[in-house]
Structures are given as structure tokens and as C-alpha cells.
Amino acid sequence: MAPRIKALDTVVVNKIAAGEIIVAPANAIKEMLENSIDAGSTTVDVVVKDGGLKLLQIADNGCGIDKDDLPILCERFTTSKLSTFEDLAAIATYGFRGEALASISHIAHVMVTTRTPDSPVGYRATYADGKLVPARPGASAEPKPTAARPGTQIVVEDLFYNVPSRLRAFRSPADEYNRIADVVGRYAIHTAGVGFTCKKQGESQYSVLVPAQASAADRIRAVFGGSIANELVEVAVAADPALGLVGGSGWVTNANYSAKKNHQPVFFINHRLVTCDPLKKALVGIYQAFLPKGGHAFMYVALQIAPDRLDVNVHPTKREVRFMNEDEIVQRVCDALQQALGAVDESRSYKVQTVIYDGPTLAPPSSAPSKRPYEYNLVRTDAKERKITSMFERTSRPDEAEGYVRVERERAPVHLASVKGLRERVSADAHAGLTELLTNHTFVGVVDDEKRLAALQHDVKLFLVDYGALTNELFYQIGLADFANFGVIELAPPLALDDLLRLATDDDVAAFRDSLVDRRDMLDEYFSVQITADGLLTGLPMLIKGYLPSMGKLPTFLQRLATRVDWADETECFRTFMRELALFYVPQSLPDGDVEPSQADAVAAQRQTTHAALEKLLFPAIARRLVATAGLLPSVVEIASLPGLYKVFERC
Ligand code: ADP
Ligand code: MG
């Protein structure tokens, strides 16, 4: 007999939901700190017992909670910060879900004492499973008048008492306490005008003690110590409305400071403590040029981003944040950091020496892959390119053909298991050493346009890399990361699929064209490949802003979309599609040797464009975004170590 499906008991559902939001005492304190700050408090005091598992107490002097609101305070989706769906997009605080207190009340005993400034008395209420309950058996559940100072005190006892599996996972109350104090310290750094304390119950010494009037540097000194606070420089990030960037600021250690201890960067986005791995990776990469090996900087960066550009609900604890134009905003912060570091100490901020390789004898390393999986254009594409160029020229000025537009649209959250699965495959293949090398490389120059080889410097070593392979993986990963959220390269004028396909194949192109036109909705929604009902190609995805794929490869790309993509299976469809997309965007191989005289100018121009794109766009994107997979190992070959070279030169 088939098992019957039963609806879960709502208490069980709520407990599960609570466990996703509050996974440790530090999550609970974070939510309560945000509430106290949102309430306009100027002091927030935290007391903890047994790592927060026995007691978490937070007292503030904020606006308090109206007595009439107390009965529903701990119900899910009750919040004073959100009343209509439209508010969701506009609200400045994003602790808006009204779930925190409810969640806590499902997995702990909660007591709230609160007084609004206009009320002569305070009120005390106790909660379980989202509802008011009597403080003692037999008593009434109604909030009771009590003497209290204006503000709110919330006492959370026996966290996870009814989730034994979770409780067993906590080994050490000391670790949990440190995590709590860490969260309080981070909010103290960010929240000017508010004083914070945090201590263990029964102890007189505070782990965090920050007065309300403390300056930013004072706050960092109180939390992370004088050695950091004495070496700070200020970072300012200018607003850019087009990116949804409202502004940014921060304090970071200068190039003279380097510590063995690695503090997680303090990142706030719209006043919420978050992690943002792309930002962290990029900033750490900048310091690597300044700091000795194994040295770490301290970073505090706060960004304000237009709330409608944020996707905060990617993670139940709201810790992980994604936003639109992430790559460009990260770049702005990097520029600001670089400026701040450069401004402080010119003498220390040395420029990485550039080594120009111009020896003609460099043969491709024997370990380079003989099969080039990213290559489909063994036939030179120049002829096609010229035909396509002339298609554009027939109706438009060339600069229009080159134009791209920024398409404003909300970041679409991607919940597809297939895409997540593909992203996980990339992470599983990640090679840490190679990723680090590429993150911190210095671009030296293109070595061979035909074999697509470039030279990179890392530390004191020189590497030869196959940029065809690297950019292929880069574009594939950008495809996965920005899936359904690409910008658009608008083709002006649109090009007829039939004309394009005829350049790629002698077969009848109608079937190819129809298979693409039939799928046009999906192609647009997921990949920004825009096709009209009557078979005109009007847009292509913008994988990296400012980078245009070589139009000579467009016909082959379209033909392969129709023939090589597995449309039947979702995961395979996305995977094969994005592999094809990546092939298309990889810079094309250019003839190195003899070129027909009539083509020499065109090839020279193309070479210049490609070199500039590699230096200004593609290798910087590799540094910022590429998770190098083990499969790329053969594409990066060490060719020299500089100390070795210097020795050779000395002998000469
Ligand atoms: P949210 O913060 O998403 O609104 P919470 O469950 O964290 O949801 O809080 C629910 C509501 O309780 C808040 O909207 C606020 O009105 C009120 N509240 C919670 N903590 C405090 C506090 N310390 N001071 C004043 N009001 C509070
Ligand atoms: Mg809240």
C-alpha cells in the first residue's frame, strides 16, 4: 500500500522553519540586535550564559513595543516594517520578514519586557510557539504591567530545548559565546551613535564595550585592538545610480599592517552584517600585492545598495547577499581600496614589475593540451566576419553596430535545481592553488595570437597560459553565475537568422531557424538570446560589460545551438548551451604569420582589440571571478622563475 501523504502539524512546520533561520545562538542575537538598532536605540546591552544556550538577554532603550502589539509580537509574518508587498522593494531595513522573534519563540522560552516612552508603565509578556503564554501555570497569559525603563528587554532561555539534535551539535559554549561577542562587536563597529556591551552573566568584565559616542576608529580599537586601529585608512566609494550603488565607506588597514590572524572581513550591506564572497575574494586579492605571504589585512566595508537590486532571501539567515551589477560594484570597491592604500604610503605600494617576453623561440610547452576542446573555428573566420560586418554596414553606422545598452531589470532569483547542481559541480572541481595564482596574477602580455597564449606573472614566477581555455571556463562560469540575469548586447540592425546560418552551413537552414524561433521565449528569459517571431536575431547576452564576442563566430554558434544542444534534459540543456555560449565568447584565434595583404589591416585592428580586451576586461575578470578547475591545470605552465632569470642575466 502506498504511504499516505499527511500535512505536517503547524507546530512542527514552525519548528523546522525556525531551525533554518536560527541555527546557532549567534543567529538569534544578530536578529535581536537588528531589531534593537531598528528601534532607534542608543544603548544595547547583551548578557549571555552557557554560550547563549541557557540565556540570551538583550536590553535596549529604543522605541519600545506598544502594549496592544504584544499579543501578536511573536507570530510569524508580523512586523511593523512592512505592510504591503510594494514595501518589500522599497524598505530600507531588510529585517523585514517578521520571522525572527516568531522563530525564536518556537525553539526557546521568550520573555519580553517593554515600555514605550509615552506609557507610564512597562509590560511583561512570555511566549511559546508564537503565542502569549502564562508566566506560571495557572496565571493569565495577558501582558502584565511592570516597572520598566523605556525600551525593550528580551530574555531568551533554553534555546533549542525542544530540538535535541541541534543541541547536541554544540560542543563548546565558549565557542558559541565567542561567535555571539563577534557579532555584537561587528554591529558595534558599524552602528555609529549606538553604544554596545556584551558579557557573560555573572562576570564583571565586558567582552565588548563600545560607548555611544565612540568614533569609527575607537570602535574598531575596542573590538579588534590597537594594532589594527593604529593602521587604518578610510575608504570611500562614490555613488553610481546606474548601478544601484547608493554609496559605500569603510576602514581598512594600510599596506604596513600585516597579521598572522585572519579576521573575516566586516561587510555590511544596507546595515546588515553579511558575507559576500566575490567582494572578499577581490579585496583580499588586492592586498596580496602588498602583504608578505601569509599576512592578512583587516577590512570593514559598508555598502548601500538600492533595495530593489538586492536579493537577500537567497539564504534563510539572510547572511548571504546577491545584488545586481555585482561585478561592477565589486570593481568600484576595489578601485576605492586601491586608491586608499596608494594614498597612504607611496613607498610601500610598489608596482609589480612587468616582464616583457619577446623571445621568438618559445615553443608551446609539451604539456599543453594537444586537443583543444574549446576550439571550433579551425577555419579562419575572417571571410565570415567581413560578410557580417557588411550586413551591419548596409543599414547602420558601424558605431551603432558596436553599441550595447544596459537593460534595467530586476535580478531574477534562480531556484532551478539544475543550475545549482551545475554550480556545485564547478565548486567540486575547484583547484585552490590555481585559483589563487589566477586571482593574484599580473598580466604580462599576449605571446601568441594564433595559439592563444599569454604570459602571466605570479610572485617571482612567470607562466604561460592558454587563454582560450581560461576564457572558455570563465564564460561558462559567468553563464552559470548570472544565469537568467544577463545584460543584453543589442544588435542594430537585427540580423536574419537565415542569412547567418547560411554562412555556417550548406544545409537547408529552415529547420535550424525554426528550432531556434520555437524556443525564443526560453532563450530570452534564461540566456538573453533575443529572437523575433519572424526569425531576426536582435540581442545577445552581455557576459562581461564592454566585451563583444567576435561576430565572425556568430554563424557557427547559431548552427551549433540548433545541433549540439541537448534540449531534452534540463540540466544537460543548460550545460551544453552555456558551453556553446562560452565557445562563442572565447576570443578568436588570429593568424600570426603571413596574412593576405588585403586583410593585413583588418587582422591588425582585430589583434589590437583582442589584446586590449584581454588586458582590460578578460584577465581582470579571470582574477575576480574564475574558480579555476582542476581541468585547467594543463593550460597553465610555469616557464621561468625570476630569480633564476636574474642569475642568468648576471652571468652575461
Ligand atoms: P522584523 O524585524 O522582520 O520586523 P522580528 O520578528 O524581528 O521581525 O520583529 C517583529 C516586530 O517586533 C518588529 O517589526 C518590531 O516592530 C518589533 N520589535 C522587535 N524587537 C523590538 C525592539 N527591540 N524594540 C522595538 N520593537 C521591536
Ligand atoms: Mg527583525
- What cell was used for 610? 583582442
Number of C-beta neighbours around residue 577 at 10 A = 22
Does residue 466's CB lie within 6 angstroms of at least one atom of ligand 1?
no
Q: What pLDDT, on the 0 to 100 scale, is given for residue 275?
A: 85
Beta bridge partners of 268: 273, 302
DSSP codes joined into one string, 520-549: HHHHHHHH--EE-TTSEEEEEEESSTT---
The maximal CA–CA distance of the chain, rounded, in angstroms, is 99
Q: How far is the CA of 73 from the centre of ligand 1 (A)?
A: 7
Least confident piece of the model among 238-247, 375-384, 450-459: 375-384
User: Ligand 1, closest atom to CA 98?
Assistant: 8
For 132-148, the pLDDT digits (tens) are 999 988 999 999 999 99
User: Ligand 1, closest atom to CA 82?
Assistant: 4
User: Ligand 1, closest atom to CA 74?
Assistant: 6
Q: Which residue did the predictor score with more confidence, 18 or 446?
A: 446
Q: What pLDDT, on the 0 to 100 scale, is given for residue 70?
A: 93
Residue 299 has pLDDT above 60, yes or no: yes
Residues 6+ apart with CB under 8 A from 588: 377, 381, 550, 552, 553, 606, 610
Does residue 151's CB lie within 6 angstroms of at least one atom of ligand 1?
no
Q: What pLDDT, on the 0 to 100 scale, is given for residue 59?
A: 98
Residue 456 has pLDDT above 80, yes or no: yes
pTM: 0.57
Q: How far is the CA of 110 from the centre of ligand 1 (A)?
A: 14
Q: How large is the average pLDDT for residues 59-88?
A: 76
For cell 560578410, the residue is 387
User: Helix or strand or coil: residue 248?
Assistant: strand
Q: Which of 348-362, 372-386, 411-425, 490-504 has maximum average pLDDT?
A: 490-504
Q: What pLDDT, on the 0 to 100 scale, is given for residue 313?
A: 55
Residue 535 has pLDDT above 50, yes or no: yes
Q: In this structure, which ligand is nearest to the CA of 156?
A: 1
Alpha-helical segments (H) within 543-599 = 554-564, 570-585
Cα distances from 328 to residues 144, 206, 208, 438, 620, in angstroms, run 53, 41, 36, 19, 12
User: Ligand 1, closest atom to CA 102?
Assistant: 6
Backbone angles phi, psi at 15, to 5 degrees: -65, -40
| Domain locations in the chain as residue ranges | 10-203, 225-342, 353-358+375-472+588-652, 487-542+551-586
Q: Which residue did the predictor score with more confidence, 185 or 343?
A: 185
Beta strands 453-458 and 461-466 are: antiparallel
- What cell was used for 248? 559605500
Does residue 41's CB lie within 6 angstroms of at least one atom of ligand 1?
no
Q: What pLDDT, on the 0 to 100 scale, is given for residue 143?
A: 95
Q: What pLDDT, on the 0 to 100 scale, is given for residue 357?
A: 24
539, amino acid identity: G
pLDDT bucket at 380, cuts 50 / 70 / 90: very low
Q: How large is the average pLDDT for residues 51-65?
A: 97
Share of the chain above pLDDT 90, in %: 46
Q: How far is the CA of 81 from the centre of ligand 2 (A)?
A: 9
Q: What pLDDT, on the 0 to 100 scale, is given for residue 391?
A: 55
Share of the chain above pLDDT 70, in %: 79
Q: Which residue did the predictor score with more confidence, 322 or 152?
A: 152
For cell 539564504, the residue is 315
User: Is there a common fold for 10-203 and 225-342?
Assistant: no
Residue 640 has pLDDT above 80, yes or no: no
Q: How large is the average pLDDT for residues 222-251?
A: 94
Residue 562 has pLDDT above 90, yes or no: no
Residue 422 has pLDDT above 70, yes or no: yes
Residue 89 has pLDDT above 90, yes or no: no
Cα distances from 567 to residues 296, 341, 399, 436, 562, in angstroms, run 47, 50, 36, 36, 9
Q: What pLDDT, on the 0 to 100 scale, is given for residue 451?
A: 87
What's the whole-number average pLDDT of the chain? 81
Q: What pLDDT, on the 0 to 100 scale, is given for residue 550?
A: 84
Q: What pLDDT, on the 0 to 100 scale, is given for residue 99?
A: 75
Query: Cα torsion for 221, 222, 226, 229, to the nearest 10°?
Result: -10
Q: What pLDDT, on the 0 to 100 scale, is given for residue 356?
A: 24
User: Ligand 1, closest atom to CA 60?
Assistant: 23
Does residue 96's CB lie within 6 angstroms of at least one atom of ligand 1?
yes
Q: In this structure, which ligand is nearest to the CA of 72?
A: 1
Domain 225-342, CATH among 2.40.40.20, 3.30.230.10, 3.40.190.10, 3.40.50.300: 3.30.230.10
Q: What pLDDT, on the 0 to 100 scale, is given for residue 346?
A: 39
Residue 92 has pLDDT above 60, yes or no: no
Q: Which of 190-194, 345-349, 540-544, 590-594 has maximum average pLDDT?
A: 190-194
Which residue, by CA, sits nearest to atom 9 of ligand 1?
Answer: 98
Residue 131 has pLDDT above 80, yes or no: yes
Q: What pLDDT, on the 0 to 100 scale, is given for residue 372?
A: 45
Which residue, by CA, sits nearest to atom 19 of ligand 1?
Answer: 35
For 395-420, the pLDDT digits (tens) are 333 333 344 444 445 556 677 888 88
Q: How large is the average pLDDT for residues 523-534?
A: 93
Q: How large is the average pLDDT for residues 578-595?
A: 87
The CATH class given to the 10-203 domain equals alpha beta
Which residue, by CA, sits nearest to atom 13 of ligand 1?
Answer: 79
Does residue 60's CB lie within 6 angstroms of at least one atom of ligand 1?
yes
Q: How far is the CA of 34 from the centre of ligand 2 (A)?
A: 6
